[in-house]
Amino acid sequence: MVSLPFILLLFAVLQAPSSSLHSKSGDREALLQFKEGLSDPLGSLSSWNNSNADFCRWAGVTCSRRHPGRVVALSLPSRGLGGTISPTIGNLTTLRKLDLGSNMFSGEVPHTIGQLHRLRELVIENCSLDGEIPQELGNCSNLKVLSLATNQLQGRIPDALGSASRLQYLYLTYNNLVGGIPPSIGNLSLLVLLSFYQNNMDGTIPEVLSHLNHLQHIQVARNNFSGTIPPLFFNISSLQILGFGSNKLQGSIPPDAGANLPILKELHLGNNRLSGMVPSSLANATDIEVLSLARNNFQGMVPSEIGKLCPRRVELGGNRLEAKDEEDWEFMRSFTNCTRLQLLDLNNNNIGGILPGYVANFSRQIQWLSMAGNKISGVIPPGIGNLASLVDLEFAGNNLQGVIPEDIGRLQNLMLLWLQENRLSGRIPFSFGNFTQMLTLALSHNQLDGSIPKRLGNLKRLTSLDLSYNRLTGVIPDEIFTLSSLTDFLSLSGNYLSGVLPPHAGSLKHVARLDISRNNLSGNIPEALSDCENLVYLTLDGNFLTGSIPKSLGNLKALSILNLSRNAFSSNIPRELGKITGLQQLYLAHNNLSGSIPLILGNLSSLIELDISYNHLDGEVPSLGVFANLTRLSVLGNDGLCGGIPELKLPSCYVKPHNKQRQQLLLIILLPVGLIVTSLFLLCSLLFLFKGKITVGKMKISSFQKIDEKYPRVSYNELFHATDGFAPANLIGAGKYGSVFKGNLSLSASSNDATVAIKVFNFHQSGSSRSFMAELEVLRQVKHRNLINIITSCSSIDSRGNDFHAIVFKFMPNYSLDKWLHPAADEQWHKLSFVQLLNIAVQVADALDYLHNNSQPSIIHCDMKPSNIILGSDWTAYVADFGISKLVGESMDRYMSNSGNSLGIRGTIGYVAPEYGEGGQVSAAGDSYSFGITLLEMFTGRAPTDDMFTEGLSLHLFADMAFPDKISEIIDPSLLQPFDNDARLDTALACITSAIRVGISCSKKAPLERMSMKNAAVELHRTRDSVLEEYFAR
């Protein structure tokens, strides 16, 4: 009888071939099912078919030698495969390696992969997988490499992953994972590399990870981790890369951080909230190649020991690191011996002192050198051209002086050059034409002069060019406008450039921002400018451009901001501007525009800011869109406007009567008017025959007004010839109501011609006649050493039969204060000293005090500003322009009626008292405000309309925030440059501080809180007499 064990053994032997056959067919079936779920546009799996029975020869499939027919590896990286990964992949139970990386898979990671207990490598990176990481992966107890990087995985890292005890490499970078790092990861004692880079994880970094003694690379940057860095991480002697950058980590680096990191190559702690000192012990990590501590709150000096390292990259920017003298810069000296240095970033710290010349001796391998945003002085080293590999050079936002060295042009690989916001002077080097690789060139806010080199046209790759706010003169070279590579911006604003915009300005088809404001450009805007179809920001304000605004600007569909204010444009506002559907801000103020406001502008839903003030517009103001928001709309200085929202306080518009009523009204009016006109014609004919006052073809004097009998009468013809026909070459100033010309006029029969200033009132400007009469009335009644003296006047008819009004003054050779504070391109005048400015301030205060308190009747000037302060040959200041003044206590209705519209707001934007804009009464406090703003402008060098004063910041607030401890940071730097010792400097600063205090007190928002002009004059006299006496005694 056969025993039971024998039977069982025989059954097992007979079954073995059958089981092996089943496993082989199972692997083949699993592969075919895997293929069914895929798309294969490249035919990578063309060999996977029934005609090829040996699936071990299929592409990407590797079978076991020990167990033939069993799949041990499936490797299909970068095959262009798409679709989802079939769960049947979990049936390949002998699989040791699965690499499906760099394909186009979607869907989730199959949970069935957790059945692959023999799996050692799982790589499904750089696909588009989503969903969560299966916790079943923790069952893969032999797994050594797990990479699911660069997908769209979500959720938390499963705790179960800590059960994959043999895991050495864990890559989960570039996903959307959330939550914290599971403490169970600390169980992976064999872990060599751990990377959660670029996810949305948060929480603290578990201290248990610092016990992973085999760890060589940890990278958890670009997440939201907070708390402190566990100190024991700096004791992992096997570490080569420590990457905790771009999180929210706080605390400090341990003082001995570098003592136990002998093979550390990269330390990434940048862009956190770390503080304290940079440890000198980091110098012990002698193999370090990348030291990144940028954008934290580290402070103090950079340890000199750091200079003993020789890294490729040193990133210390965006901290509060300091240096004051040569000794503090010592850490950099050693870098001159570091031949592999490629990047040095020290930008945005508190580093001061003189820039060492040995910077030019750095490695010729250095590509990026940045020291921007510090307090570094001195000059750019002449040998900077030795750094031949430089790609990025940043010295912006310092106190560097002197010229830009010519040899900088040797840096022919340079792509980014940032030198803006320094005190660099001289010309733009001719050698800049060698920068053929340049992408961004920024030289703004310096003191560069001369013309723009034509050779900048060689920079054919340039995307951004910023030369704004320098002292550049001459014509803009045509070559600049042919730089079709410009895509970001071209900014030439705030210079003294002249000439016209050429037609080929339209070649800048790709530029997004074009800013040539605040120059001396003339002529028309070329129609071709509308070819710049990508323009988002176009600013040409503050020039002398003329003609009409081109209708073709309406074709600039991408335009968001258009500023053409402060020019001499005429004609109508083109309704085509209403076609720019994305237009947000439109500024057309201070031009000679006429006609009505296009209704279509009110339909622009995007338009949030509109300034059309001080033109000659008339008709009804729309009420829709931006016209319904008083805080975003300015229509001041347009006599003919009516209607609009009630808050504008404009007169109602005339409503035309119906036809029948109109015919009756015309009959009633025209009959008597016709009789009167006929009678006047007959009377004038008789006068012509018998009196001979008017000769055809030749204009004689029709009337005049003479202020002083010792001067003869003056006619229109005499003034015409005195100014060479009111030639533009003799124009020395212009305002709302008229222009001022320089002329040569004989004031008596026995005297030679004298140079005079002739103010000619603009008959086109409504209200100019009233302004003429108001100014005459004031000047007749005042007499003060600091008020402009009138010689005579003329009220006549010009050669075209139009009304002509003019006032003749003594000519002042130093023109207005405004020209000295903000000189134009062709006026290279020196800066006024603080002593001269203080004297001017005292004299103007005296004049206003006289007008307010000693004149009968009292007079409110209403338009105090630098352009209305005239300077004599001995620098005596004279207050001028009384065209909108108000005599207090005496009706001025016959000269300047206030109809209640926007013209009732007297003054100039930036200088006018706030209460005037709210309909408040004219008062002496309004003059105090304007004087205070003028005083602040004199000593800071900044006009109240400066571009920096936006979003609630004003010149008054700018000064008030700095007073008194930070006054030196806001005043015009040129005021303190001449002083050769600290005592004189301190005295000058005290004097300026005192003057600014008066300016702040005068320009307070509430009228009752402002200092009166009497007290302001007393304070300024006291400042000048006491402080300057002390100054000159030294």
**478 close to 455: Cβ distance less than 8 angstroms:** no
Pick from 407, 412, 395, 499: which is nearest to 446 by CA? 395
Angle between the 834-853 and 982-1002 helix axes, to the nearest 10 degrees? 30
934 CB contacts (<8 Å, ≥6 apart)?
844, 864, 865, 866, 869, 911, 999
Helix (H), strand (E) counts: the chain: 15, 55
Half-sphere exposure of 643 (CA within 13 A, CB side): 15
Cα 726-728-730 angle, rounded to 5 deg:
70
Identified catalytic residue from 611, 863, 881, 972 = 863
Pick from 947, 635, 975: which is nearest to 836 by CA? 975
**105 close to 80: Cβ distance less than 8 angstroms:** no
The Cα–Cα gap between 316 and 300 comes to 12
- φ, ψ of residue 896 to 5 degrees: the values are -145, 80
**508 close to 481: Cβ distance less than 8 angstroms:** yes
**936 close to 910: Cβ distance less than 8 angstroms:** no
Give, as one character, the DSSP assignment of residue 90.
G
- Please say if 863 is a catalytic residue: yes
799 CB contacts (<8 Å, ≥6 apart)?
699, 716, 720
Angle between the 924-940 and 1013-1022 helix axes, to the nearest 10 degrees? 30
Q: What is the DSSP string of 519-560?
A: S--EEPPPGGGGG-TT-SEEE--SSEE-SBPPGGGGG-TT--
Angle between the 834-853 and 924-940 helix axes, to the nearest 10 degrees? 180
| Distances 289 to 170, 234, 282, 309 between C-alpha atoms, Å | 24, 17, 12, 9
Pick from 294, 287, 279, 342: which is nearest to 309 by CA? 287
Q: Give percent helix, percent strand, percent coil of the chain, each to the nearest 5.
A: 30, 20, 50
Q: Which two tokens stand for residue 34?
A: 């895997």
Q: Which two tokens stand for residue 189?
A: 């004692």
Q: Which two tokens stand for residue 224?
A: 């939201």
**851 close to 858: Cβ distance less than 8 angstroms:** yes
Peptide bond just before 110 cis, omega within 30 deg: no
Q: Which two tokens stand for residue 801?
A: 């039969």
Ligand-binding annotation for 691, yes or no, is: no
Give, as one character, the DSSP assignment of residue 615.
S
| Distances 939 to 345, 668, 837, 909, 943 between C-alpha atoms, Å | 36, 63, 8, 19, 10
Tokens 């800011």 identify what position? 609
The Cα–Cα gap between 942 and 963 comes to 16
- φ, ψ of residue 787 to 5 degrees: the values are -115, 140
Burial 989-1013 (b: 16+ CB within 10 A, else e): bbbbbbbbbbbbbbbbeebeebbbb
SS3 state of residue 695: strand
Q: Which two tokens stand for residue 140?
A: 């893969």
Burial 246-265 (b: 16+ CB within 10 A, else e): bbebeebbbeebbebbeebb
First-to-last C-alpha distance (Å) of the chain: 134
Residues forming the active site:
863
Annotated binding site: 759
Annotated binding site for ATP: 759
